[in-house]
Amino acid sequence: MKTVNIHQAKTHFSRLVEQAAGGEEILIARSGKPIARLVPLEQLAGPRKSGTLRGRIRMEPRNLVWVSAATAWEIVIKVALGRLDLGEPPEKCLPREIERSHFRPLPITVEHALEVAALPHHHTDPFDRLLIAQARREGMKMVTSDPAFEAYGISILSARA
């Protein structure tokens, strides 16, 4: 979480809003004491339901589909914060659904983490930046509804509704 003083917030408001829209939470302080928080709108909207594109994306059996450990990590955090409702604990449904769908787990490597440093700062969400780094490093196509991913020049399969 980034902290700025009121003067910085006034001076750089547009940039801070863009950072918040990208997933970063920004704390605004007066005399070193927090007085306000700038958060992405989805955090205010309450829990999201999963499966909104279920049945609308068809994967060919000959194509391998990888699920990053970063995705599982982000899901667990969002469930714990009440921002995502899976209907059951992630430790129960994630392994089952990954196996049922014949997806392959993609671990996070040191090379993936170092690739993040080479990324331009089009996007501030750390999980998304790691996913982008993995896609670049491994030459993989990303499935996403986030248009910010396109700025990285990786291959995208749009999941927009």
Do 78 and 20 sit in the same domain of this protein?
no
Residues, the chain: 161
pLDDT of the residue at 124: 86
CATH code of the domain covering residue 21: 3.40.1620.10
Q: What residues make up the domain containing 29?
A: 2-43
- Reported in sequence order, the residue ranges of the chain that DSSP labels E, i.e. its strands, are 2-5, 26-30, 33-38, 48-49, 66-68, 84-85, 104-106, 142-144, 156-158
Q: In angstroms, rounded to a whole number, what is the distance separating the alpha carbons of residues 158 and 146?
A: 8
The pLDDT value given to residue 44? 44
Question: Taking 70 as the threshold, does the pLDDT of residue 58 lie above it?
Answer: no
100 and 153 belong to one structural domain = yes
CB-count exposure of residue 134 (10 Å: 0-12, 13-18, 19+): buried
CA gap 132, 112 in Å, rounded:
9
One domain, residues 87 and 136? yes
Which has more pLDDT, 140 or 22? 140
Mean pLDDT of the residues in the chain: 85
Domain boundary among 43, 58, 74: 43
109 and 71, same structural domain?
yes
Are both 25 and 103 inside the same structural domain? no
The tens digit of pLDDT for each residue in 20-47 reads 877 788 888 888 888 888 887 654 445 5
Same-domain pairing of 31 and 59: no
pLDDT over threshold 60, residue 49: no
Is 142 found in the same domain as 63? yes
What is the Cα–Cα distance from 129 to 116, expressed in whole angstroms?
6
Dist CA 94 CA 92 (whole Å): 6
- Is the confidence at residue 111, as pLDDT, over 50? yes
Q: Does residue 91 sit in the same domain as residue 103?
A: yes
State the virtual CA torsion across 141, 159, 39, 7 in degrees, nearest 10: 60
Residues 24 and 70 both lie in one domain: no
Span between the terminal Cα atoms of the chain, in Å: 30
Work out the pLDDT band at 114, boundaries 50, 70, 90.
very high
> Which pLDDT does position 45 carry in this prediction?
45
| Rounded Cα distance, 116 and 1, in Å | 18
Please tell me whether residues 117 and 145 are part of one structural domain.
yes
Q: Is the model more confident about 56 or about 133?
A: 133
Kindly indicate the confidence band of residue 55, based on its pLDDT and cuts at 50, 70 and 90.
Answer: low
Do 81 and 16 sit in the same domain of this protein? no
Number of domains in the chain: 2
Does the pTM surpass 0.75? The reply is no
Q: What pLDDT score does 91 carry?
A: 95
- pLDDT reported for residue 147: 87
